[in-house]
Amino acid sequence: MTALAVSILISLIMAGGLSWYAKRRSVDDPMTWGEAMLFSVYVFFLFFVVFGIVPHQWLTLAENEWSFRADRLFDGWGLLQARGRGGWFPFDITYRVLSDSVAAIIYIVYLVGMTKMWGQWQSRGQAKPSADVVTSAYGRPLVKRG
């Protein structure tokens, strides 16, 4: 449990470091060769932690400490009982399937987070749209012509 928590904490700290650096670095600054190499190693290690270590630590915790094995059936506290065992649910769900599903959710959450971070990096330095637009009585923006 500690290894999973530490790996998640390391990934969040590293992602926060990238977010902090994206806000700090201006768009017009040219990147040197050394900065590019350092940044690429940092991003590679972040990808390694996020897509390698965190799911591995989850699967290790689930299979070893919590016994999420393929021979144990998950019945959802009586709500997901399979038809073969007298319930309404169409198929059996094993604990191994449950742990693999959580690992897939971990991958999806981190992929969405990475995509948002890439978008933040690409849109840094762009001006935000102005919010002080005059609107009509109906709530539509008034546009001056001419």
Its pTM stands at: 0.76
The predicted-structure confidence for 75-110, as pLDDT tens digits, reads as follows 877 788 887 778 888 888 889 999 999 999 999 999
* Radius of gyration of the chain measured on its C-alpha atoms: 24
* Domain encompassing residue 9: 2-122
Residue 57 falls inside a structural domain: yes
Residue 6 falls inside a structural domain: yes
Q: How many domains does the chain have?
A: 1
In this model, does residue 55 exceed pLDDT 60? yes
Please, are residues 35 and 42 in contact by the beta-carbon 8 Å criterion? no
Residue 100 falls inside a structural domain: yes
pLDDT, position 46: 95
